[in-house]
Amino acid sequence: MKILTVIGARPQFVKAAVVSREIKKRSGISEVIVHTGQHFDASMSDIFFEEMDIPRPDYNLNIHGLSHGAMTGQMLEKLDEIILTEKPDFVLVYGDTNSTLAGALSAAKLHCKVAHVEAGLRSFNMKMPEEINRILVDRISNILFCPTDTAIKNLKNEGFDNFGIKIVKSGDVMLDAALYYAKKIEGKAAFLKKIGLDGKKYILATIHRAENTNSIERFSSIIKALNEISKFEKVLLPIHPRTKKIMEANGIKPSFDIIEPVGYFEMLELLQNCSAVMTDSGGVQKEAYFFKKQCLTLRDETEWVELVENGFNTIVGSDFDKIVGAYKQLSEKNPDFGSMLYGSGNAAAEIVDNLIENSGE
């Protein structure tokens, strides 16, 4: 049995590595990895693959820096060639990027089975390109690996029970990854010592989404709120290159602490040791939960509604008063982090078991 995995961004490499490690444990199954190059990431050096225990791609298409149409079109052209050459039993895609859509679309058109990891997620905001991608990929897949009950409910509400598609509650591969890599840094605080935060209290913040960085009104309001909160508690922001450009172009001067972008291990260390998280990142919202941290989400909606419904996450958008008010209420909340919203950390095994089981159908 052969699986062809299509990925195009650093977070997808981390997720796919979890499943790749499980594939290697099984006999009679092989994997071919295709990196589309969608998100060019200079930090994905040799050290990245070695430290993260991530397999290197068999194909690197180096397609990036284009409009979504040109990018997806070029990916389709190249992926058609690879799928026809490799003849996989399944094409495995992750998440909601253009690479995800191109991988699924190419496979479906060539009558190759598609499996989608992180299926069923919905923000219900069709202005988000990711929302369009995930809906289309779900519809043309053969197996949908859902991280949560909410994801399964979304699919059933959209009529997926009628489409002859297998829906599996697999749990979340990001939990598998967080548990695996957390063990590698257990008992260490090297990065915190390096930046002078070892043993100190701080809030971890991240801002990078286009809805916040493309609107100077939203962006300024968020920065103003973080400035206000930093009067009560240290705020630390590893700065995204896009965020840095917006700040410099508009003369915005934050009064909280800013550091350069960090790698995955450094981010895990920051998450493990912070007092709370403020972010517009989907992945960081979940990781905050994995490490038992309350989160304020700097967006108007989230795909991870179960975090909000269970009191782990508060949606604050970009409104100054909402952000500051929610921060002041954090100490009053005591959510039960003993719940298992995203499974028990064995999503990869569940995924590989189902791929093997359905390879001959």
Taking the C-alpha atoms of residue 313 and residue 225, their distance in angstroms, rounded to an integer, is 18
Q: One of 39, 64, 111, 208 is an active-site residue; which one?
A: 208
Task: Give the residues across from 35 on adjacent strands.
Answer: 7, 60
Is-contact 38 63, C-beta < 8 A?
yes
Query: Is there a catalytic annotation at residue 208?
Result: yes
- Per-residue HEC secondary structure of 45-112 comes to CHHHHHHCCCCCCCEECCCCCCCHHHHHHHHHHHHHHHHHHHCCCEEEEECCCHHHHHHHHHHHHCCC
What H or E segment, with its residue span, contains residue 2? strand 2-7
Q: Is the dihedral of CA 131, 136, 139, 142 positive or negative?
A: negative
What is the end-to-end Cα distance of the chain in Å, rounded? 12
3-state secondary structure of 324: helix
Taking the C-alpha atoms of residue 237 and residue 167, their distance in angstroms, rounded to an integer, is 38
Taking the C-alpha atoms of residue 345 and residue 208, their distance in angstroms, rounded to an integer, is 28
Taking the C-alpha atoms of residue 328 and residue 233, their distance in angstroms, rounded to an integer, is 11
Taking the C-alpha atoms of residue 142 and residue 213, their distance in angstroms, rounded to an integer, is 36
Nearest to 60 by CA among 99, 115, 112, 19: 99
Active site residues: 208
